[in-house]
Amino acid sequence: MLLTIAVIVGLAVMAHAKEYTDEQIASAIYQAEGGRKSQYPYGIRSIKCDTKAECKKICIKTIKNNRKRFARDSKGFTYYLQFLASRYCPVGAGNDPRGLNKNWLKNVEYFLSKGE
């Protein structure tokens, strides 16, 4: 019985995690990170990328890799985008002296909802 409940809950979490495509998430990240006005397209700072296309490729790869990580171990998160936010734009990060990372998830979700 417990196994059945765990499987149902797991499937519900995974379905919610796949609600948006990688492209949709990347587009929302691009917008949340400032779009055309951003100094770091797609918020990519840890890896050098010279063009918007290169940065997008890195962003998509990050999204895909984190989907796999989330499926293996959700680290207690019930929603994929929460998990992604904890890795992509962690609250309290050293490169966030103004504490703006706390808004990242809300902003990404906003742009995802606008794209529907």
What is the tens place of the pLDDT at every residue in 11-62? 444 444 448 999 999 999 999 999 999 999 999 998 999 999 999 999 999 9
Encoding tokens for residue 44?
A: 């990519």
Instruction: Assess whether pLDDT exceeds 80 at residue 68.
Output: yes
Q: What pLDDT is stored for residue 107 in this prediction?
A: 97
Contact 44, 55 (CB under 8 A): yes
pLDDT above 80 for 9: no
- pTM of the shown model: 0.81
Alpha-helical regions (H) of the chain: 2-17, 22-32, 52-72, 80-88, 104-114
What is the maximum alpha-carbon separation in the chain? 53
